[in-house]
Amino acid sequence: MRKSESSVAAAAPSPTPLTEYPGEDPRAARAGIQVIARAAEILRTLSSHPGGLSLGAIAKEVDLPRSTVQRIVDALGAEGLTMSASGGSGVRLGPAILSLANATKFEIADLVRDALVDLSKATGETVDLSILDQNKAVFIDQVQGTHVLRAVSAVGAAFPLHCSANGKALLAMLDDAALAKMKGKLKFEQLTPHTLRSWDDLAKDIESTRATHVAVDREENSLGICAVAIGLLGPMDQRIAISVPTPTHRFVQNEALLTEKLVECRARLLAGPLRRA
């Protein structure tokens, strides 16, 4: 609340808190903000369950009374932000969510650009942003490193999934059914003596990447170049990978540092621009 004005003429009044306005009941303001926060939490919970959830399941997920969830879901439904799930046994996100998402027109490169720049500064290396495009990893953005000798590929370049760090990071994000479909699309072209030669070998790398969140390319795509990468989900569940390629001699010396900074970048994005729940 606003503090009382001092009887001393020279003392300036305290500024009004951002969540209050002249004449507004502070308790009502706080209650309104709490409702918005709870509604956002419910929407994020539903986004993680595309098939929908029962009111009881939502209440358990967000740790709220079922009656409170019911009121908020009813209000969201009136705005088209939620709707009945198939069979009427639960609630799912509504069609108005899609129009709101489209209206933001966020480019994934814009969302993560600051993190890419900071990662490049922290490592001195080039940082690439890729997306999954059928059976290829395609570069859509890049921050070049500061070393004279550095790994640089053109934005728009496509890389095989089986022998690149960004490709393996993207594969590790697929569920088993999607991986099974992808299996028939990969040709396992041998680009270097170190390129993985079979699905069994790749599957081991995918499992390792799922466990550590970090994929590694040890001269599998290009001799003299190694890389580490992480995979992340962007808006509308777009799969992206952030990779740090570097000449092999520096990679051998700095692999632990590169991995550490990449993991920190992942945590930063998950807590900020790519936060999902």
The domain segmentation of the chain, as residue ranges, is 26-102, 108-271
- For residue 51, CA distances in Å to 45, 64, 65, 150, 190 come to 12, 21, 22, 46, 41
E-assigned strand segments in 82-235: 82-84, 91-93, 127-133, 136-143, 158-160, 215-218, 225-233
Task: Supply φ then ψ for residue 261, to 5 degrees.
Answer: -70, -35
pTM over 0.75? The answer is: no
| DSSP-assigned letter for residue 104 | H
Which two tokens mark 216? 């590694």
Query: 131 and 125 in contact (C-beta within 8 Å)?
Result: no
Count of beta carbons in the 10 Å neighbourhood of residue 258: 25
Q: What pLDDT sits at residue 143?
A: 93
**Closest C-alpha to 243, from 257, 229, 232:** 229
How far does CA 209 lie from the centroid of its chain? 16
Helix 248-271 to helix 108-123 angle (10° resolution) is 130
Cα(171)–Cα(162) distance, integer angstroms: 8
Q: What pLDDT sits at residue 8?
A: 34
CATH code of the domain made up of 108-271? 3.30.450.40
Residue type, 104: T
- For residue 275, CA distances in Å to 37, 47, 262 come to 15, 12, 17
Cα(42)–Cα(58) distance, integer angstroms: 7
Q: In the CATH hierarchy, which fold is given to the domain comprising 26-102?
A: Arc Repressor Mutant, subunit A (1.10.10)
**Cβ neighbours of residue 204 closer than 8 Å, sequence gap 6 or more:** none
**Closest C-alpha to 231, from 139, 160, 165, 154:** 165
- For residue 10, CA distances in Å to 1, 6, 13, 210 come to 21, 9, 10, 63
pLDDT in tens, the chain (277 residues): 333 333 333 333 343 444 444 555 666 667 778 889 999 999 988 877 878 899 999 999 899 999 999 999 999 999 999 998 876 678 998 888 877 766 654 588 889 999 999 999 999 999 999 998 888 898 889 999 887 777 777 777 888 999 999 999 999 999 988 898 888 888 899 999 999 999 999 999 999 999 999 999 999 999 999 999 999 998 777 899 999 999 999 999 999 999 999 999 999 999 988 886 5
CA dihedral 130, 160, 210, 247 (to 10 degrees): -70
